[in-house]
């Protein structure tokens, strides 16, 4: 039997429980792969009641999750209760969210699950509980460390018509420019190429490398970073046999015709990457972490405390994340 996907609870007070319930209810029409929720069964049961939804929920062993999926939402406990009401994180929220992430990763590393899919977390809630990482991506890298150094995690945002990777991520624009180096661009691109081959089945990935400055610097007249930092990275990649082009003006990289000429766009800072994909696929975008020894996807949105428990949360991004995780697992070598 195909291994199920491990879905972490996320922030219990957010819309993670809502979209988990909605995704399972759409499992047949969406042709979803089997998944189980790592979290607190009672939390999901209370949320279903708040939503006015009748849904069978079964607490199971991982080995029974795939068989259970057809007739009940499988839940595998973590030993941590989650008592938060919709939109109101409480003292149990952080521990429940972290335990769900750790347990889901352990399930995949041990070979019992095919991939990790994570519901949204509230970083502010985790920070108050002493969480030491900037976000999901960094804690996943730490969990992947094992006995060696933590891998370099790379955040990809994906939809069927566009894949983008920000080379610098959750930092200010000033800090992004300071952090940007030729070496960082090259190492990020190598990870992207490796995972496009291994996880997405693309034999010869094509990369479009965005310039940092307007018009990719206009040969230095609008900033020297593209000539001094980005162009040398592209040259190193090309010498290594990677199909990379750039630095390219970012304002002409994302129209429909341009998107057909590459498999992934590498952007120099957060918004340069996320604005185009959220414009194209706001409800269906998927966050994928590359560079890890396991597959991880996530909805490309936050906890949405303001609509948690209201029935208005759209599960489309979670559904896309589940389907992409299964696709990546199927494409990956055993």
Residue ranges at the known binding site: 136-137, 170, 215, 270, 278, 287, 296
Interatomic CA distance for residues 243 and 241, integer angstroms: 7
DSSP conformation class of 111: T
How far are the Cα atoms of 64, 112, 281, 308, 324 from residue 70, in angstroms, in the given order?
Answer: 11, 19, 29, 26, 20
CB atoms within 10 A of CB 275: 14
Binding site as annotated, residues for substrate: 136-137, 278, 287, 296
3 state DSSP class of 209: strand
| Closest C-alpha among 4, 5, 6, 86 to residue 44 | 86
Residues 230 and 185 sit within 8 Å (Cβ to Cβ): yes
Evaluate the omega torsion of the peptide bond into residue 204 and state whether it is cis, within 30 degrees of 0: no
Pairing mode of beta strands 162-166, 264-267: parallel
Tell me which H or E stretch contains 163: strand 162-166
Q: Which two structure tokens, joined as six digits, stand for 309?
A: 């428990």
Which amino acids are annotated as binding site for a divalent metal cation, given as ranges? 170, 215, 270
């Amino acid at each position: 039997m195909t291994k199920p996907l491990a879905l972490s609870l996320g922030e219990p007070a957010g819309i993670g429980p809502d979209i988990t319930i909605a995704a399972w209810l759409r499992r047949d029409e969406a042709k979803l792969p089997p998944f189980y929720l790592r979290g607190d069964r009672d939390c999901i049961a209370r949320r279903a009641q708040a939503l006015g939804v009748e849904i069978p929920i079964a607490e199971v062993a991982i080995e029974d999750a795939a068989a259970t999926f057809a007739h009940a939402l499988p839940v595998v406990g973590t030993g941590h209760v989650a008592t938060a009401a919709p939109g109101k994180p409480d003292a149990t929220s952080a521990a429940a969210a972290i335990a769900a992430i750790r347990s889901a990763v352990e399930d995949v590393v041990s070979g019992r699950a095919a991939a990790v899919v994570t519901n949204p977390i509230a970083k502010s809630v985790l920070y108050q509980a002493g969480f030491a990482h900037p976000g999901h991506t960094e804690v996943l890298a730490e969990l992947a460390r094992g006995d060696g150094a933590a891998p370099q995690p790379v955040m990809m945002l994906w939809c069927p018509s566009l894949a983008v990777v920000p080379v610098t991520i959750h930092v200010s624009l000033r800090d992004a420019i300071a952090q940007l180096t030729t070496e960082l661009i090259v190492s990020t691109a190598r990870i992207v190429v490796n995972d496009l081959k291994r996880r997405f089945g693309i034999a010869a990935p094509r990369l479009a490398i965005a310039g940092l400055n307007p018009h990719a610097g206009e040969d230095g007249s609008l900033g020297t970073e593209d000539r001094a930092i980005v162009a040398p990275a592209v040259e190193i990649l090309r010498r290594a046999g990677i199909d990379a082009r750039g630095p390219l003006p970012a304002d002409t990289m994302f129209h429909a015709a341009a998107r057909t000429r590459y498999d992934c766009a590498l952007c120099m800072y957060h918004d340069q990457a996320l604005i185009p994909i959220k414009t194209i696929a706001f409800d269906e975008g998927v966050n994928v972490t590359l560079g890890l020894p396991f597959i991880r996807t996530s909805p490309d949105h936050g906890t949405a405390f303001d609509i948690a428990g209201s029935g208005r949360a759209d599960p489309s991004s979670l559904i896309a994340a589940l389907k992409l995780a299964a696709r990546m697992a199927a494409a990956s070598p055993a």
